[in-house]
Each structure stands twice: as structure tokens, then as C-alpha cells.
Chain A
Amino acid sequence: MKTYDAIVVGAGHNGLTNAAFLAKAGLDVVCVEKNDYIGGAAVSRNLYKDWWYSNCSYVCSLLRPEIYRALELHRHGLQITPYGGSVQFMENGDYYGSYQDEEVAYREMARFSRHDADAYKRYSADTMRQCRFIRDFLLSTAPDPTSFKPKDLMELARIGGKFLEMGEDRMYDTIRFWTMSVAEYLDEYFETDVIKAAMSGSGIIGTALGIHSPGTAYVLLHHYMGEVDGNVGSWGFARGGMGSVSKAIAGAFQAAGGELRTEAGVDQIIVKNGKAAGVALENGDEIHANVVVSAMDVKRTFLKCVNKSDLPSQFHQRVENFKIRGSSGKVNIALDGLPTFPALPKGSTLYNSDMHFIDSMERMERAYDDWKDGRWSEDPYIDMLIPTLNDPTMAPPGKHFMSCFVQYCPHKIEGRDWTSAEKDAFGQTVINQIANYSPDFKDLILHAEIRTPQDIEAEIGITEGNIFHGELTMDQLLFNRPIPGYAQYRSPVKGLYMCGSSTHPGGGVMAAPGANAAREILSDLKRPNTVPENFGDD
């Protein structure tokens, strides 16, 4: 029977990226995927007539441009188009819009507070400073601070150097930043509730934390450090939906000679004599290779697919304790036409922006309180977009696709499984909140797909449906991600690697974990590196 050089488990964007770089180095690689479609959580799904839903991830900014370029994703059909701005609908009928034009953005902010409008530049510079610090480490393996290997020491020295370069005051700021809450961080700059509420959303998206929870300032950064064409902080749509990202990476993988197998869910990773030897599929087939790379999250990989006796007990325990909590759901809607939002002027550019329906910090935090009680938020934080205003390929002419990311939504309702009535009620909560600001919205709904964390877990495989494959808190970042001592994509089992978002630098459609893991694997195999270096920014 054939033995591959490497098997990559999971054809999400990280698995595919990893597979592509390995294949580019000349390895004979097979990527196995349990579903009958590829993409994992970066997919465009045809679930209703001629509509294509970005039914998990829905916008793109973090995808590393270095990877885009190295894999020539444009040749494989990928196009990212930027969109701009956001709007916060308010209970009093007003709204706060954020615009791409700097002056218009200023003017709008000054409508609420001149102080906040003037403070924005300082906020922006301070946040950008943290971004620059972290961005430089995205496309490199996190150094092990306990190691004396030259590579680790050099990388530690590089981080230390960049840190010292900031100067005394900014070093203090940085340490504070990494541990503070997004609410505290915003309080240092802004006085207006709705403006803070608008900005705080990025601090909690994808995390089971509230705006007042320590560590959420970093999560804000995680959403801010992306870019579209060098415009740091910009977000864009993938033409054709997020599936185009996976499809393009898969195209690069196949062009490099890689093999894709769908409907090939892995039951067990085969370990022989403490070394990875291949995978046993759910259908009973076996595939052999000396390198197995798991793009699944760390819990699914080690708690479900590896024999416990093959793992050190402490490692196993740490995997069990890894925080990966379901906190968000999605409602994907096919629309018969464009809903109107009477608060906005006709033809407002804000239609083509992120829409939110929470206007205060208190409501943001209350939304979290419901989650802690094991329920979905009665008054949720919704990040809503209508990508079809930008993209003609996702719905028939004149029709629209609406993506609603919803927070908070627990993995289990008060500790037990969701009932279908509860799932419907969750969807209705979301639809009702939007309908409060758009009277014709409900009548335009043709089809809605409601996805709880449980649904996402069942279909995609991510534990608890957590979009980041694990919380982005300091105890689970950098050399701590996913497990201290195993933050360099290797596992206790020789030949078994991790390349999913549970690893550094974490979640989002970034593709950096997949690429970084490939670099380490190629180095272990003494193969030439195919993974690009950080573009860098002095």
C-alpha cells in the first residue's frame, strides 16, 4: 500500500495552506476532509436556490498577504475587495456611523463628542503600535522562553529588541494592553457610550468573554491587525464568499501535485512505537504516512483522534483544560430584496458596512450575562453584513444574502443539548432585533439558516464551534498556544503535528498557523523551506 510523505487532516484554510506548502516542497501530500466539501469554516455553501452563503466566516482581513502571494491565490480565483465602515443603530432612532473617509468619520464622531473625535487619532496610533508589535510575529513560530536552542534565543532576542525599542512608557502601556479589558482600554480614550459600544465589539467577537473581562483588549487587536492591500485594520469580502479562499488555496495545493479526499473523516490517528504512522478513516480505510498534520482543533485532535495511552498524561490533562468555548452563532439569510433601514439616509454608504444593533456598553455586557447563565443573549450583539451589495456572484440579481454573526450563543442550553424549538427561538431573537430597525426586513426573508455552536461543531468539527479554535487570552497565546512546551506545531507524538487555529498565532482566516507549521515540518524533514517570510515593516 502507498505511503504518503504527509497526511493533512482537515481541509479548512489552515489544513489546505499547510498541505500546499508541503506539496510545494515536493512532498507527496494527501489532505483528508470529513465533509463532502472542502473549506471547513471558510466556505460558500449553496443551501437555498441560487444563493451562496458564507455560512461560517464571512469577512476577510487577517489572511496573510505573504501567503496570498506565495501561493499565487489570484491565479486560483481569489479576489478580496475591501468594504468600509460600520453603523451602530441606536434605540433612540439615531445611529452612529463610522466612515472610511477620515474627515467624514471625524465629523460623525464629533456629532456625539468633539473630545472623542479628537481622541481617535491617539487611540488609533496607540492601537496601531500594538498591532505593529504583534504583526511581526504572525508568520513566525513563537519562541520557547525556556529553550536554549539558538533559534529560540534569536527569536526571543528579536521580540525583546522590538519591545525595548518601544521605550519605557510604551513598554508599560504594552504590558497593560495585553491584560486589560476592552472596556477599560476604550475608557482611556472615549467618553461616548455608543462610540465605545461600536468599538468594543471587536474585543469580544469569537470569545466567551465580556467587554469587561481582562484580556479582551488583545482580542480587539486580533481584529485590527489584518489588512487589505496594506491598509491595516481594513476588512474585505472574498468574491464568491469565503469559500473562494479555501478553493484558491486548494487550487494551489493541487497545482503543486497534492491530493484532496473528501468524505474521508478521520477516526484515529495511527501511532506506532510512539510515532505517527497514518490515519484510520471512519469508513475503515487506512492511509499511511510518517507525518500526520492535524488542522483540527487541539481538543478534537488529541481527545478524540489519538489514543490516550499514546500521550503523556500531563499533556492530555492540559489539552482537556484548554479553553475552547462556544460563544457565537450564525444566522444566514436569503433575502428577496434589500431591506431598508429608515434611520439611514437613502443610498447611504452605511448599507455596505458592518451593521450593529447595540448602542451601549451596558447592553454589551448584559448580552454576556445571558451566556454565563447558559442561554443565548436576549439582546444579542450582531455583526451583520450584506455582502451581495459588493459581490454580484452570491445571489441572483436584485436579491441579497445577509450574514449575521451573533454573540452570545452557548454551546449548550443550561448544560443540555439545544432543542429545535430553542434553535428557532434563537434565530427569531436575531431576526427580531434587526427588524426593530428595518420594518420590511421580515417580509423579505426567503430562507434562513440558523447555526448554534452545537451545529457548527457537528458539521465543521470545531470543538464547541469556537471560531478561534480556543480563546485568545494571554494564557493561550504565543508560546502558550495551545499548550506550553508544544507551541511550535509539534506534539508529544513524533511525526504528529498541529496546524489549526489552536496554534500560534490563533484564529481567523489568517492561514498563518498552517504556514508556520509547514515551515517547522519541512525543517524537521530537512527539506527546503517554501513558506514565505513576513513582509516586515520597519
Chain B
Amino acid sequence: MSKQAPVHQGRLKTPFYSRLEKLDFVNEWHQWKGYSSADSLYCSDTEYFAIRNATAVFDLTPMTKYRISGPDALDYLNRLVTRDMAKIKPGRVAYAVWCDDQGQVIDDGTIFHLREGEYRLCSQERHFAWLQAAAIGFDVSITHETDNIAALAVQGPTSFSTLNNMGFEGLADLKPFGLMHVDFQGSELMISRTGFTGDLGYELWIDPDKAEALWDALFEAGKLYGIRAIGTDALELSRIEAGFLAAYMEFLPADETVRTGRSRSPLELGLEWLVDFKKPNFNGRRALAEEKRKGSTWRLVKLDIEGNKTAHHSYIFGQEKTNKPAIGFITSAAWSPVCKQNIALGTVRAPRGMPGDTVWVEIYYQREMHWNRHMAKATVVDKPFWFPPRRGATPPGPF
């Protein structure tokens, strides 16, 4: 009888854990896909300002990653996702969503065209079974590589200066959604100009064996640029400011919903720009074409809310009085320190929620044990709350 080592029961540690642990003062961790991930390392407010003011480093190793390659990789991806992947040349990264046959979003993520015919797909959730099922009829290989790659987000106005200080040639020319391969101590380091903060920023991808060395070199290079490690609390705030969607917040993976009508289509999430009906065939096309013709049920809204009381879990109404049913609810809310705005993402019944529309948000807030209720006027906005020019500037300035 062969003896099998028991499955590891505790939280896994990423290759950067030894470094994060040293910078951790508050011992606040949660689990992210089985890994320990810090909520905060010393103070999430300060960590947030590292994103908006200097260089913030976030360990995103637990993010789900797949390698997709083979002669039919492009055709495969084109059937899988709603956008046209033929336009994504090697060295480019695409934000994409993929749907089931009912046109409901299974997940969103980024697809990195690493080299000709070779892709990496990063998703919020784990979808190996779905990706394999979607591969029927294609000569394509799909490998789960989450644990084989260590990844860091390096975000903030001085992130370019920090990385540039490490001497990566060509970094200045790297455009948003571009990627490049450089040498790091004999290993290949992939740098992409991507991120989840809506700011100038990069993501670094490397062999786990080189993770600690990369961290050390990065922090050495960023010493004069205010480099700081951050946890997910700070990242989450910047994510809302950037207007990005989070799984289980703005949508549920369609294949995990139990109740009918709890999933969302890309059109309902404001992602119509990602749906290319010129493609003759992709998963969910027929249903989405039908939805486009008939109109959607829901609409994702970005809300600029009056006052300063955060609209967590609030109902959205079409009028100040609550005598008519709510038209939707808030999915993510925050006070934006950088915009000094009370912001939120929400979902409302279409056709409500057009940019410029006024809606009302029912906010409950607690002050010294007692609860208060407040109806706040809110305006539907079109653009992300935070979109600084430096995010798109190439070459980025030193800031």
C-alpha cells in the first residue's frame, strides 16, 4: 500500500509570504483561494495612499491563472469570450468576459497574449472544468498554472520610477495593456502594464523560486519612491474608485447561481463594448443578440451620492419617497479619499440608470449604537470616478 501525504489543511502561503510577514504589524489575514492574503499590513488608510501617492505592492499570486496554447488557441478564445481576440496581438493584454449559452457572465478576467499563439488567462474564479468543456473541437492545451507563477501588482504614480530604477529596458515604451519579457537574475520576468487600481501601474509575473529575490530588488529600487506593501482593503477601495467589477459583488458566476435571474449578462454590466457581434459564433451570442434586441433587465450604475454617508447594502429608489418598490441596490460602496466623493456601484432595473439620471439611495448608518436612516440623492455617472491622465501616459512621467 502506498502512503499518500494528507492534503494540507491550513492556509497556503504564497512565495512572498516570508516578505509580507516581516512587514505585517496587524496580523489581519483572510483566505483567498486557499492562500493567506493580508487584509491590511499596518494601516489600510496609509496603504491606500501608497496606491494613489507612491508605489503600492500587492501580492496577487492566488489569482487564478491558466495557460492556453496550441494551434487553435486563438479560435478557442474567440469562441470562449465575447470580444474579438484576433485584435489582441502578441504582447498585448485584453480584458474579457465569458458567458454561458444563456449569455450570462461566468466570469471576467484578463487574457495575456504572451507570444504568438500562447495566452495566459487570469480569472476571478476557478473554471478549469468550464474551460475544458469549452475546448471541445479545438486543438488547444489548457493548463492550470496558478501555483506555478508568483505575481505582484506594483501600482501608483511612482511605480514606473520604481521599476525603471531596476533597469528594465523598454519599460518607458510599454503602453497600457502591453506586456514585455525581461531578464531577472537569469529568469524570465513578465511585466504587464495592467492592474486593478485604475492608476498608473504594472504587474510582475515570475517563477516562484525567484519571488523573494524579485521582492527584495523591487523594494530596494523603490526605497526612495515611497514603496509599500498593501493588503486587500486598500486595493478594494481603489477598485471601486476605478469602477472595476468584482465577482460576488457586481455579479455572480452564472454557473454558481441557484436562483434564476441572479446572474448578469455583459450588457447588464456595462460591458457591451466587450461584445463583438461581428464574430459569427461565441458562447452566449444568440442569447445576447436577443437581449440586445429586446432590452436588458438590469443595468450596472456608477453613482455619485450626495453627502458623506457610505451607502453599504442600500436599496436604490427611483424617487425620494420609498412608497414604490426599489429599483435596485448597491453592490459596492465607499467614501473615495482621492475624489472626496461618496461613490458606489449598483444594479438597477433597466431602463433606469442612464448616465445623468437621478436616483435615491436609502442609507442606514450607525452613530454611537443608534441607527439612523437617510435618503440621499445620487447621480448616475458614466466615467470611472478616478481616471488620472498618468494612467494612460506613455512614457509615464516620474511623478
Contact = CB atoms under 8 A, between A and B. Distances in A.
Contact of B31 (A103, A119, A169): A103
Contacts of B31: 103
Given A114-B144, A118-B126, A169-B102, A348 B258 contact: no
Given A122-B256, A167-B260, A117 B128 contact: yes
Interface in B252-267: 253, 255-261
Contacts of A93: 1-4
B244 interface: no
A118 B126 CA distance: 6
Closest 8 CB pairs of A and B: A93-B1, A119-B129, A103-B34, A118-B128, A345-B6, A118-B129, A108-B7, A122-B255
Contact of B132 (A107, A115, A345): A115
Nearest to B126: A118
A348 B8 CA distance: 11
Interface string A102-136: 01101110010011111101101100110010000
B18 interface: no
Contact of A343 (B4, B101, B253, B256): B4
A99 B258 CA distance: 22
Contact of A101 (B3, B9, B33): B9
A167 B100 CA distance: 14
19 contacts: A103-B31, A103-B34, A106-B34, A107-B34, A111-B7, A116-B129, A117-B128, A118-B128, A125-B255, A125-B256, A125-B257, A129-B258, A132-B258, A132-B259, A167-B260, A169-B102, A170-B260, A342-B1, A343-B1
Interface residues of B, number: 30
A73 B31 CA distance: 38
B280 to A, nearest CB: 23
Interface string A187-215: 00100000000000000000000000000
A166 interface: yes
Interface of B: 1-4, 6-9, 11, 31, 33-34, 101-102, 125-130, 132, 144, 253, 255-261
Nearest to A348: B6
A243 interface: no
A118 B253 CA distance: 12
A122 B126 CA distance: 11
A103 B4 contact: no
Interface of A: 92-95, 97, 99, 101, 103-104, 106-108, 111, 114-119, 121-122, 124-125, 128-129, 132, 165-167, 169-170, 189, 342-345, 348-349
Contacts of A111: 7
Given A93-B2, A116-B129, 20 more contacts: A94-B4, A95-B4, A99-B7, A103-B31, A103-B33, A104-B8, A108-B7, A115-B128, A115-B132, A117-B126, A117-B128, A118-B130, A122-B256, A124-B256, A125-B256, A132-B258, A132-B259, A167-B260, A189-B129, A343-B1
Contacts of B260: 165-167, 170
Contacts of A103: 11, 31, 33-34
Contacts, number: 76
Contacts of A167: 102, 260-261
Chain B contact residues, majority secondary structure: loop
Nearest to A349: B9
Given A107-B34, A115-B132, A118-B126, A97 B258 contact: no
Contacts of A92: 1-2
Contacts of A125: 255-258
A118 B127 contact: yes
B128 A121 contact: no
A122 B100 CA distance: 12
Nearest to B131: A118
A486 B180 CA distance: 73
A13 to B, nearest CB: 29
Contacts of A116: 129
Contacts of B7: 97, 99, 104, 107-108, 111
Contacts of B261: 167
A167 B259 CA distance: 10
B140 to A, nearest CB: 15
B175 to A, nearest CB: 33
Contacts of B102: 167, 169
A27 B8 CA distance: 58
Nearest to B11: A103
Contacts of B4: 93-95, 343
A444 to B, nearest CB: 21
A117 B259 CA distance: 22
Contacts of A118: 126-130
B128 to A, nearest CB: 4
B257 A122 contact: no
A104 B1 contact: no
A99 B8 CA distance: 11
B125 to A, nearest CB: 8
A104 B260 CA distance: 29
Contacts of A97: 7
Nearest to A93: B1
Nearest to B144: A114
Contacts of B11: 103
Contacts of A128: 258
A111 B130 CA distance: 18
A461 to B, nearest CB: 39
